[in-house]
Amino acid sequence: MTDQIERELQLPASPDDAWEALTDPQWQQRWLADEVRLELQPGGDAWFRTGDSVRNGWVEEVSPPRFGGEADARLVFWWAQDDEPASRVELTLTPSQRGGCVLRVVEARPLDVLDLVGIPLQQPGASPYGPALVAA
């Protein structure tokens, strides 16, 4: 079973400018949460505060625009509040033929996606939103 919300928005900005809005902490505080700490690397920590509500998580993928914004860009992270099941948030920027770019936002709580991306379920030491990271 998948609980999923999906939306597409046409943005009047280049993929490079839109990427900055997705990844810059000052921009994130305008659209994502009151305070955001996002380590932009796979396995990086993610922390979001809106009012008294705090969500924690981890970063799955960071793929900035390439070839001058000609290729898709993706930012994927997981987040959860308290003991609730984690959600996977996928933000994809695609250049638009009408100019600017299209932002596709998908947030899901799917067990099938957990298996798809290879995240082990119920593994000792795993957090509710991703695998335990072990320092070498």
Task: Please tell me the predicted confidence (pLDDT) of residue 127.
Answer: 46
**Whole-number Å distance between alpha carbons of 86 and 78:** 6
Residue 129: CB atoms within 10 A of its CB come to 21
Residue 125: CB atoms within 10 A of its CB come to 9
Task: Please tell me the predicted confidence (pLDDT) of residue 20.
Answer: 94
**Domains of the chain (ranges, CATH numbers):** 4-116 (3.30.530.20)
Task: Please tell me the predicted confidence (pLDDT) of residue 104.
Answer: 95
- Per-10-residue mean pLDDT of the chain, 136 residues long, equals 83 92 92 94 96 95 81 92 89 90 89 51 43 42
Dihedral over Cα of 5, 102, 20, 77: its sign: positive
Task: Please tell me the predicted confidence (pLDDT) of residue 72.
Answer: 87
**Whole-number Å distance between alpha carbons of 11 and 95:** 10
The answer to whether 88 and 78 have CB atoms below 8 angstroms apart is yes
User: Which among 122, 126, 27 has a CA at the least distance from the CA of 75?
Assistant: 27
Task: Please tell me the predicted confidence (pLDDT) of residue 69.
Answer: 58
**Whole-number Å distance between alpha carbons of 2 and 14:** 32
Task: Say what the pTM is.
Answer: 0.77
Residue 59 Cα to chain centre, angstroms: 7
